[in-house]
Chain A
């Protein structure tokens, strides 16, 4: 895919999305010796109150970008990041692609349903339909898109201080 991957814009919406996208796309970009520009589009209401404050969205974008820059470091791919404010996600992605003179836009479609698309807008469709440069859709890895990184609330595995008043509750769950 040579030139196509010279300078790829990666739209990343969440940490999970960033992980999936990087896993899917970076090996190819690394092989082609290309570079990536990760773009997080903050959807603005265009003159009304937004869903969340700008400072809050910028903090969130930094978390998302941390995933990308780490993955790029590991893959040895040069990487830039940009937060884009736009009233439409796809427009924001393509504006950024123009600004950075990108050779392509690459993304992994997130698992969705008609209902979700109806509620949140079908970004996959918009990215493909409004393309003004090559758009590459990569399948997400084997594991289904792990969108929420916070759904398992691992119980605290550390056992602090062997307190003398600990009730002797021995669970013999290791009798094999």
Chain B
């Protein structure tokens, strides 16, 4: 088997059971009684209507899923198509919706346990009275969260068995129901209004299919299996719901369901009547498994949504830390678990079910909109294997019915949901907008056609664009002599990226002195006038380039470490620093700090060995690689800002091949106008020779750990010391650091 086969090991049955397993627990085992009581014979219609609405969205979800089989499913599609504002709404709605639904499943679980072991109605803890169902629900939720926190892979496999077993039990049940069915038994219908309200409540039993898309990246051959699983699970559960509902209404006397006591479970009592105690036991057992597997799958699906949200910086990526021992996303599972427990503690069965329903209806509506946007904008990489039939009618109808159904749900729940959506919008503007960099297809589409689009659309689109791209160049300054040069380099980088310069004055404080004390007695550690002057100069120099600038004073015991911390806390995209004995105090003491930092580098770093800032003739040696890409970017900044002549240097055994490599490399990096110079022989000698004619040498770190070598004085490139011109060393950021995970 290939690597890919092993990584994507969810087969068609497994994918189907995720959907069926998540849905069936709620639909059959918890809701029928309420549906029949409130809608009468139209309960069946409620379930069919719910299935129809779900099916329309399932078609859209299938198309989006085959085009983008990524972790996070519905959130990912909405964020990708509609941008991070709607992405925030969809992400939060999906996450909280699953937590509400899980809390609801656990209530069902509590009822089943109560029926099996028999418990008093409520327990009294001092002044608090907790119903026994709620208590078991809380215990059950804690158990399932704990299991997933530790990560037992067996739970996943059990799911397949459980679902197959459930379908078998229900098949027997409906057969008995059909044999005993009489139309005379059907309760009177209660009309369309109650039927639609009921549909809103029971829609919580149609949430599962979208969870399949959350794990889309793990499905084998998603082009085939994903639509089959998504659409198949909706069709299958709709049919099962309909049969079970017909059996329950037609096979027992009218009024039977309504006459049941509060602690009795409708489907179990009907089974007892039709099939005897064995039937009742089978249904009890089935209900227990079904509600448990629903909750379990939902908890796992939430962690995928968290991951996708964290990757886009809609929530802090630190939420998705993997446990070093259990290999589970333990923080995400713990937070989801706490939400579930809180919802169980605060909610009622009906409130939890409808919250789950409404939040998912919002997502379903947005999913259909996302599909329309993808089809209309038709980006080059959008190539779904499955296509929605009857486009655009299907997604438009899917969107309208999803949003319309919300209107039939109780006003309190709608108000709560609106508050959550408003919260997600606020979340976007207050938290996520400055962090996420991802622009939606819709925003790109509107803004790229700004001339043809109505002004209102354009200003709306540009008004909500993410500005996580706000590019921040952090320049720590200690030495007034190098201030102007470092700021010039930083400003060129900021200008090229439409960003800003953040100038930091690093003030050394002796180890014995607390930073808090030093902050209040700053004058003892630095000449206030000098510090002021340094930052004022920095500001003036940066403003000469027309880039925004902010200045801060940073107190520091150990220079390097705090420089890195400061860059981190100021959200640096690039750190521009000087290098020399007096740039940041004694480098020898920074080793421990650099050890920590060198493993991960959360921002690009430019280190300048300043021998006078003269960017008129820049030499950039390259052998390819990410760090020389950064070097290329620096060369571009200098060229665009100072009109530098750029020379690219490559050392190769075969000059023709070297020339070809350089030309292709330069063209890919917008440096076609640079001169090329191909040398053979010793790399360092070639660089030294090229640098003789140059005023500035830009070197990409050829391997990781440049910083460490720099600080410990073991830099391999001796050439940097030998040449007479200024040298800029470039090291590219590497994924995310421990610090970033901690501070988000």
Contact = CB atoms under 8 A, between A and B. Distances in A.
Partners in one complex: yes
Interface in A19-64: 42-57, 59-60, 62-63
Interface residues of A, number: 59
Contacts of B218: 49-50, 53-54
B156 A45 contact: yes
Contact of A45 (B9, B318, B562): B9
B260 interface: no
Given A47-B11, A51-B151, A160 B554 contact: yes
Given A51-B327, A56-B329, A156-B565, A86 B6 contact: yes
A6 to B, nearest CB: 24
Contacts of A87: 153
Interface stretch (A9-17, A101-109, A131-139): A9-17
B565 A158 contact: yes
A51 B519 contact: no
B326 interface: yes
A62 B600 CA distance: 11
Given A156-B569, A170-B520, A49 B300 contact: yes
Nearest to B555: A159
B679 interface: no
A143 B734 CA distance: 27
B304 A46 contact: no
Contacts of A85: 3, 6-7, 9
Contacts of A142: none
A157 interface: yes
Interface in A101-153: 110, 116, 119-120, 147-150, 153
Contacts of B551: 161
A148 B324 contact: yes
Counting chain B CB atoms within 10 Å of each CB, the highest count among A158, A171, A176 belongs to: A158
A81 interface: no
A49 B552 contact: no
B582 to A, nearest CB: 21
Contacts of A17: 324
B102 to A, nearest CB: 15
A73 interface: yes
B447 interface: no
A67 interface: yes
Contacts of B512: 174, 176
A162 interface: yes
B325 A150 contact: no
B349 to A, nearest CB: 26
A2 interface: no
A149 to B, nearest CB: 6
A8 B325 CA distance: 23
Nearest to B152: A119
A55 B8 CA distance: 11
B71 interface: yes
Nearest to B528: A162
A165 interface: no
A63 B602 CA distance: 12
A162 B71 contact: no
Contacts of A166: 519-520
A70 B561 CA distance: 19
A150 B519 contact: no
B307 interface: yes
A52 B553 contact: no
Contacts of A116: 325
Contact of B159 (A46, A49, A156): A49
B555 A158 contact: yes
Contact of B516 (A69, A74, A119, A169): A169
A44 B150 contact: no
26 contacts: A13-B324, A46-B157, A47-B10, A47-B14, A48-B155, A48-B157, A49-B10, A49-B14, A51-B300, A53-B303, A55-B217, A56-B307, A56-B322, A60-B327, A63-B736, A70-B704, A73-B704, A87-B153, A120-B326, A149-B738, A157-B515, A158-B565, A158-B566, A159-B553, A166-B519, A171-B514
Given A51-B329, A73-B703, 8 more contacts: A45-B157, A46-B9, A49-B18, A51-B300, A54-B218, A59-B735, A85-B6, A160-B552
